[in-house]
Amino acid sequence: MAVYLFADTQVLVQGITGKQGSFHTRQMVSYGTKIVAGVSPGKGGQNFEGIPVYHTVAAAVTEQRIDASILFIPAPFAKDAAFEAIDAGIKILVLLPEHIPIHDAMAIMAFAKSRGTTVVGPNTFGIVSSGKCKIGIMPNRFFLPGNIGVVSRSGTLCYEIVGNLTASGYGTSTVVGLGGDRVVGLNFTDVLKELEKDRQTEAVVLVGEIGGSAEEEAAEFIKANVTKPVIAYLAGKSAPPGKRMGHAGAIIERGKGTFEGKVKAFEAAGVSVAQLPFQVPAFLDKALKK
């Protein structure tokens, strides 16, 4: 089954005519994603390689059934575009942009919650139900269908780990990028809840990093609610306190969000923590007794 996205999920691209938007729309289409509409203010009535382009999201939803939208919009304008999608009733919103102001992110999350919209990101690579529907910027060829659910705070590290899985014969059910910012929509717990229910998913790989408390909360949730094997990998063991390691959220502040604290929380929840990224497939072999 996979979670969140399915073979028939219909997708809107906001900012479809921009450089990033057009490049990744082509990539998504070639993956098999059903992109049914684009929005680009001032370009309503045109089409992008056969995909109808609308002036506003409201105009798009009157003509198309849209299940999800992805934003290729510069950060300063992302709040307006996100509000527009939520207001139009879109239920899954993927926020690609990095550097969205934190107050804008909080406003987006509050509005989304009031309208029942699921937000992925910001500062995410997106989400993919392998072989069915990809909404994001991840390289197509690593995301082959299979039984491993993956949820990650970072992009390239997730590709690295999914690449290792693929090379070891493990495909993926759904892969979710939570995003590297301090305030994001979906968190580990939300995704774990779905993957636990999903019949296609046999085990979960969780890719976390230092900073914040998302991993600790995930560990608590796993202990009480998850029966499937969970393997974790955490980045940032060597990071010094007080330094922001690229991601806004990746910082050890006032003794919180440390690598050691997260490992301890996971081990207490029965989650195996891989020391190195390439060890993840072997850990899965053991957990699934292959």
Partner 1 sequence: MKLYEYMGKELLARYGIPVPEGGVAATPEEAAELTGKIGSVVIKAQILSGKRGKAGGIIFTDNHAEAGRFSADLLGSELNGYKVEAVLVEKKLQIERELYLAITVDSAARNPLILASAKGGIDIEDVPEEELVKMALDVTVGMQPFVTREVTRRLAVSDVVAAQIADILSKLYRLFVEMDAELAEINPLVISGETVIAADAKITIDDDALFRQSALPLVEERTAAEKKAHELGLSYVELDGDIAVMANGAGITMATLDLIQYYGGAAANFLDAGGGAGVEQTARALELLLSKNPRAILINIFGGITRCDDVAQAFVDVKKNSGIPVPVVIRLVGTNEEKGREILLAEGINAYKLMHEAAQRAVEIVKGN
Catalogue the active-site residues: 247
CA distances 128 to 6, 32, 102, 140, 256, Å, are: 9, 11, 25, 10, 31
Measured CA to CA, the distance from residue 201 to residue 211 in angstroms comes to 28
What whole-number distance in Å separates Cα of residue 21 and Cα of residue 15? 6
CB of 120 to partner 1, least distance (A): 14
Q: Which stretch binds partner 1 (CB under 8 A): 4-12, 35-43, 46-54, 179-187?
A: 179-187
Check residue 217 for interaction with partner 1 (CB under 8 A): yes
Q: Is 101 in the site for partner 1 (CB under 8 A)?
A: yes
Quick check: 227 binds partner 1 (CB under 8 A)?
A: no
C-alpha count within 13 angstroms, C-beta hemisphere, residue 153? 29
In angstroms, what is the minimal distance from the CB of 16 to partner 1? 18
How many chain residues interact with partner 1 (CB under 8 A)? 62
Q: How far apart are CA 147 and CA 172, in angstroms?
A: 5
d(CA 235, CA 229): 20
Q: Kindly tell me which of 114 and 227 has the beta carbon lying closer to partner 1.
A: 114
Distance CA 202, CA 229 (A): 8
Q: Among 1, 8, 30, 139, which residue sits at the site for partner 1 (rule: CB under 8 A)?
A: 139
H or E segment and range at residue 120? strand 118-120
According to CB under 8 A, which one of 146, 179, 180, 281 is a site residue for partner 1?
180
Residue 78 beta carbon to partner 1: minimum distance, rounded to whole angstroms: 10
Task: Please report whether residue 127 would count as binding partner 1 according to CB under 8 A.
Answer: no
Per-residue DSSP letters for 251-276? Answer: --BTTBS-HHHHHHHHHHTT-EEESS
Between residues 85 and 248, which has the closer beta carbon with respect to partner 1? 248
Scan for tokens 């590297």, then name that residue. Answer: 180
CB of 234 to partner 1, least distance (A): 9
- Here's the x/- map for partner 1, 239-278, by CB under 8 A: it reads as xx--xxxxxxxx---xx-------------------xxxx
7, 102, 268, 282: residue in contact with partner 1 (rule CB under 8 A) = 102
Site for partner 1 in 7-36 (CB under 8 A): none
Q: Is residue 200 within 8 Å of 1, Cβ to Cβ?
A: yes
Which region among 9-17, 28-36, 44-52, 176-184 touches partner 1 (by CB under 8 A)?
A: 176-184
Stretch that binds partner 1, among 30-38, 45-53, 152-160, 262-270 (CB under 8 A): 152-160
Confirm if 153 and 138 have CB atoms less than 8 A apart.
Answer: no
Distance in angstroms (rounded) separating the CA atoms of residues 288 and 285: 5
For residues 126 and 94, the answer to whether their CB atoms sit within 8 Å is: yes
Q: Which of 135, 150, 210, 284 binds partner 1 (CB under 8 A)?
A: 210
Measured in whole angstroms, the distance separating CA 3 from the mean position of its chain's CA atoms is 12
Residues binding partner 1 (CB under 8 A): 75-76, 99-107, 109-111, 114, 125, 137-139, 152-160, 163, 180, 182-185, 187, 207, 209-210, 212-214, 217, 235-240, 243-250, 254-255, 275-278
